[in-house]
């Protein structure tokens, strides 16, 4: 059975342009925070992965589609889940919503690398820990 991870953010003045609309690059920051919190829910974090396994998780690619704008002081919910997993990487789908309104849809390919930046097998028990969270269907 898969698991959805939810992370809430509030849009602050620093996240917006002069018109009070979220600057497009800041959505990437919101998505990163949500992915980090999803890892914490699994009992891991980026520092622990680096310290215990000598590995890091990097973004190989991100396909992001902006649907509508978010605005100053909006309350946003970011839904993240593992779409698929391979020996060295995993794919996450992420959705940013304001209430029922879909703001952003993103598909992110994340790769485990060693300290030299070379792809490595997902270390230790992480591979097995991720598998129960795999989901092959998208539901908004």
Active-site annotation, residues: 17
Beta strands in the chain (DSSP E): 5-10, 56-66, 75-85, 89-98, 101-113
Q: How far apart are CA 96 and CA 31, in angstroms?
A: 8
User: If we measure between CA atoms, which residue out of 88, 95, 19 comes closest to residue 64?
Assistant: 95
Q: How far apart are CA 35 and CA 89, in angstroms?
A: 14
Place of tokens 């992915």: 35
| Phi and psi angles of residue 15, each rounded to the nearest 5 degrees, phi first | -85, -10
């Amino acid at each position: 059975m898969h698991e959805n991870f939810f992370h809430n953010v509030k849009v602050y003045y620093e996240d917006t342009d002069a018109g009070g609309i979220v600057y497009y690059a800041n959505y990437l920051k919101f998505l990163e925070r949500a992915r980090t919190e999803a890892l914490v829910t699994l009992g891991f974090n980026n520092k622990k992965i680096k310290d215990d396994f000598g590995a890091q998780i990097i973004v190989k690619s991100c396909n992001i589609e902006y649907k509508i704008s978010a605005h100053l002081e909006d309350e946003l919910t970011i839904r993240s889940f593992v779409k698929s997993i391979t020996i060295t990487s995993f794919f996450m789908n992420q959705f940013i919503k304001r209430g029922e309104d879909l703001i952003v849809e993103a598909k992110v390919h994340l790769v485990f690398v060693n300290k030299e930046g070379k792809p490595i097998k997902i270390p230790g028990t992480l591979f097995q820990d991720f598998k129960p969270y795999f989901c092959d269907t998208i539901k908004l």
